[in-house]
Structure formats: structure tokens, C-alpha cells
Chain A
């Protein structure tokens, strides 16, 4: 510790204090979903933390075994509210592989369009949550107001703002026509301007940087040890992105950059996610302008031949993996889901050690928790 006067004063006033245990959760203003942390704090620094999951465990994997494949599309959609579409995408992809179906290109494009729109929506939600957690309410209000543009587009396309129910086994259930495409492109342009403005504000606002730089540091070595995925991994310099490494849906036909950063703190994660949002916007524009003609779905059998499949995709928070095994009936014998938040959660005790109590919400927000995903 340095011996600056402020540190000295803080230390003198706080080192008379014994250790106290602060509960973060299950209900806490910094958490959007129930999760329990017991922080042992000495003065203002965290000494130890104990994590407890399972408050929203609904037994989705077990439920899937008791429903048929079509019903399960709707079950897995409800694993998470923010990344619902990617769950159905990965699931339908897996079942389509088991059935040996060739999904039409138009359906793949529409599926990818919703994936990227969902990524934009998720990252903007995250930006607002992070800003609110560091006390920058203005950015929270702006980000969530601009997120409404994406939600309106998704509602127009699918009928739902968050639970879209767009994917079916064999393709997608929705379609777009020319006027709709033009209107969406116009709104995406407006959204791009607004996100650029937000990015500019964040990059120049010193109080925001002071609260996020150096906070919640993860080295590349720690990322690899804990098998962290997604923007959290990319912010520590680990270049991994399923859209580029294992292209699915229409990603092999798209031109995009994978954004990485080096510092590995909450600031780096911001500098990965916000440019990634802009990149996703460009991808949406490519998808809409290059939409191929054709049907949007193929017929799928109800009974799936015996087999197993491992299906992966890049959710907004990282690599999402499904393992599906079928035994020849119309119900899956096993659906295993591993969501990207789970490895990130295992790094939190390490990230929180030695951190100021005041930085806990920033650390939690930086990791982009989606507890419903982690608990299933």
C-alpha cells in the first residue's frame, strides 16, 4: 500500500475495525438476479468471499427429458431472458444435425440476424447495468433508452421483445419483406450513431474510467485456467470467438472483426463489448442487405433417430454448448446445457480478493452475470 495522505487517513480510521461479513444477495440492488455472496471485509477491502448459486435453479435439463423435441424449443428459450434466442439456436442446430436436415439459407440469415440483434440488446443492457453500478445513472438511462430501438425491431420481427420464439426445428417461423428491411436498416443507422455517442462519452469521462480501470483484473493465465469464455476472456487478450472459430448459421458468409483488449479489467471489458455492439450492427446491415430468397423452414420429423450431438455457439456472454442425445423416440434422452456465465462465476472469488467494497458492483457487472443462465 502506498502512503498517500488519503490512504493513511482511511487506514487509520478503518484499521481499528474488525472483520465484518457483508452479504451481497440473494436480494441486493447490485444484482439483477438472485445470487449469494458472503464477503468478509476488513476495513474497506475484501479478504474472502463465498459464492452460493442455485436460487433460480429450475431443473431445465430434467424438464427437457419429459417433453418432446418441439416443446423443448420453448423450454430452453426460457433458460434466460436476455439470451433466449441463442439457446433455441443452439438447440435447434443440434436437433437439425441429428435429423440430418439442411436448413434453407434464408432461414439461416434470419436466425443470425436475431442472434446479432440479441447481442446488441444484451450488450446495451449490460452497459446500463455497469453504469448504474458505478453510479453513472445518466449512461444507464441513455443506454436503455437506445436499447428500445433494438427491442422494437425484435418485436416487429417476432412479436416478442425478449422471448422471440423465432426458431423452429428446421428453420425460422418469421419472415421479412422489403419495406420492413428498409425500415430496420434506417433505425439501425440511428442506433449506430447513438452508440458511437455513448462510446465517446465513456472514453472521455474521467470519473467512469477512474471507477473501472484496474478493477476486477483477470490475467490471460487465469482466464485459461478457469476456462472463461466470451468478452470477459477477450478482454484479457485470449482470442476466442465461436462465430469465427466454428462458424454456424450464416457466420461463414459474414465479414466481421473479433475485438480483443489487453488490460483484463472492467475497463477493458467495456472496450470490448461496446465496439462489439457496433460490429454486430454492421453484421445486421450485411445480413439484411444480403438476404437470400427461398423458404424459411423445412419439414422436420417428430421422431429423431438415435444419436448424439454437441452444438456450440457464441452467446452474448461467450461460448454456449449443448449436448443432446436421442434414443429414437420423440423425447431427448439427455439435454446438457453449459452457459458461458458459469466459468466466469468461478473466477469471482479470485477477482474480488483485495478489492474495495465499493468496487464489488463494478466487478460483478463487468463479468456480465446472467444467473438464470448459470443456474438453469
Chain B
């Protein structure tokens, strides 16, 4: 089974880590890794198994850490999960192995503030050019203004009916 072979290869590559596979609906296998193991793990997938289809990179703020989930697909779903600290999170980029990861990493960077070391083009993907870089939309926050923005953009006029 491909998944078994992959898990075996990961265990060989990282003898110090406990590699456990967890079945997650729908038909997905989750494997947790520390952040600096992620690039070597992806290298194993790409070079030994030719598993190059990265569906997306999910970033989420769980309150205690920033979690990154790398969703791969090769006949079955494999997700590599890693946790980063909330202050100044950074991780190596996968764009040297999988160029298609570029857009996903850009989005995680602008939404959660994760720095991808070595990314060739770390511009914002979706947010406007004059967006305040300190405001990270997908971080958990009690600040209500992120969901009800009242801050106006610099050159925006207000159009009141009697003006």
C-alpha cells in the first residue's frame, strides 16, 4: 500500500520522531511532524514517490499555536501537519520542490503572518496593496474591528446624501 510505504520511508528519514498516521474523514491520512522536518519529508515524497500534487496549504490559528497543514494527493489523501509558535512563525518554503506551492504560501503568509524562508515572490496574494501589514485576518483575536472594519483607506471619501 502506498501509504504504508510512505510512512515507512518517513520513519526511516526521521528516526528520532514518532511518525503516527491518523485516519481522518474523508479518506485522509494525517501525519504530524515538527516544522524543520517538513521540507525533508516533502523531499522524500517528491523524490522517492513522485508525489508532487499539493492540493493546498491550510493555515490556522488554534489559539496556542499556528498550525500548517500540507494536503497532498496521490490516489489517496495525505496531510502533513506542523505547529509553529505564534510569535514570528517561520518555516522553509516548498517552492523549490513544488513550484505550485507558491500561491498557497503567499496566502498563508498574508493571512497569518507566517514567513516562508526562501520564497521567490512573497507579495500579498489577495489583500489590497494598502492593507495594514500588522492586521492578520485569520489570527484569532478579540478585536471586533477585523470583522466590522471602520478604518478607512487613506484616499477614500465618504459619500453622504447631502454632500
- Chain A interface residues (CB < 8 Å from chain B): 53-54, 57, 59, 61-62, 66, 93-94, 97-98, 224-228, 240, 245-246, 248, 307-312, 319, 321, 323, 325, 333-334, 336, 338, 342-343, 345-346, 375-376
Contacts and interface: CB of A to CB of B under 8 A. Distances in A.
A336 B111 CA distance: 12
A342 B101 CA distance: 11
Nearest to B81: A308
Given A225-B100, A342-B103, A323 B26 contact: no
Contacts of A343: 100, 103
A242 to B, nearest CB: 9
A343 to B, nearest CB: 5
Interface residues on B, range: 35 or more
Given A61-B138, A323-B71, A225 B98 contact: yes
Contacts of A323: 56, 58, 69, 71
B26 A309 contact: yes
Interface stretch (B85-93, B120-128, B152-160): B120-128
Given A61-B138, A309-B25, A224 B52 contact: yes
Interface in B91-116: 98-104
B43 interface: no
A61 B128 CA distance: 17
Contact of A54 (B52, B104, B124): B124
A62 B60 contact: no
A310 B78 CA distance: 10
B100 A54 contact: no
B52 A225 contact: yes
Given A224-B52, A321-B71, A57 B60 contact: no
Given A228-B100, A323-B71, A346-B102, A310 B54 contact: no
Contacts of B56: 321, 323, 336, 338
A321 B78 CA distance: 13
A329 to B, nearest CB: 14
A309 B24 CA distance: 6
Contacts of A59: 137
A226 B94 CA distance: 12
B79 interface: yes
Contacts of B26: 93-94, 97, 246, 248, 309-312
B60 A336 contact: yes
Nearest to B59: A336
B28 A310 contact: yes
A310 B24 contact: yes
B138 to A, nearest CB: 6
